[in-house]
Amino acid sequence: MTPHPATRRRGSALTEAIYLATLEELARTSFAELSFDKIATAAGTGKAALYRRWSSPDELVLAALTDPATGFGQPPVPPGTGSLRADLITLLTHFAHVLDEPRGRALRPLIAYRHQHPELFDRVWASVVLPAREVLLAVMGEAVDRGEADPARVSERSAEVGPRMLLVDAWSTDSVGVDEVVAVVDEVLVPLLSARPTPATWRADIVHKADAGPR
């Protein structure tokens, strides 16, 4: 990351610059290389400004990831399109865009080093991942109410399928396009969640049609 020139920033402007520098440095390097010195240089400020407010780079990473301006802040609201497919495409397209931003790229080393930083990973999971999963569950619940989704197929695990697939794709290809989002929704999520007859229902329907005979 190119260091920002030193300025007389204060308050929220300085905080945002520090947060953004933290996420960009983490995304560019790794937890092992992240330090207050490097963050301060990238943000164009003195390292004393960091030491006064945060006890460690881990604490600063958490603050940056949960900040509304630079991090994830509040999760997106359910789109309310009236269609499971459209809702999923809207939410997962937003997620794909996020993965290509500093906040999204910073998640990759966090996941890779989760065993070395378990407390930070757990706090980010609770603050960032779980609220987003609840939004997907809400969208799936609305689809159940409309008869689009089978309630037996809606679970925390099924709500994580789409984001996990996109995260792996971003990790391997560096970015995720809209076509990939649509493919995940159409080829995986909608078939997975759709309300459809069980084998027993199929058999009963076949027997019923056979008993009815030709018309």
109-121 residue pLDDT tens: 888 888 988 988 8
Q: Is the pTM of this model over 0.85?
A: no
Determine contact, residues 205/211, Cβ cutoff 8 Å. Answer: no
- Distance of alpha carbon 165 from alpha carbon 4, whole angstroms: 35
- For the cut 70, the answer to whether the pLDDT of residue 3 exceeds it is no
Residue spans in the chain of domains classed CATH 1.10.10.60: 11-59
CB 91 within 8 A of CB 79: yes
pLDDT at 201: 46
CATH number of 11-59: 1.10.10.60
pLDDT digits (tens, 9 = 90+) for 137-187: 999 999 999 999 999 999 999 999 999 999 999 988 888 999 999 999 999
Residue 73, beta-bridge partner list: none
Region 5-25: mean pLDDT is 83
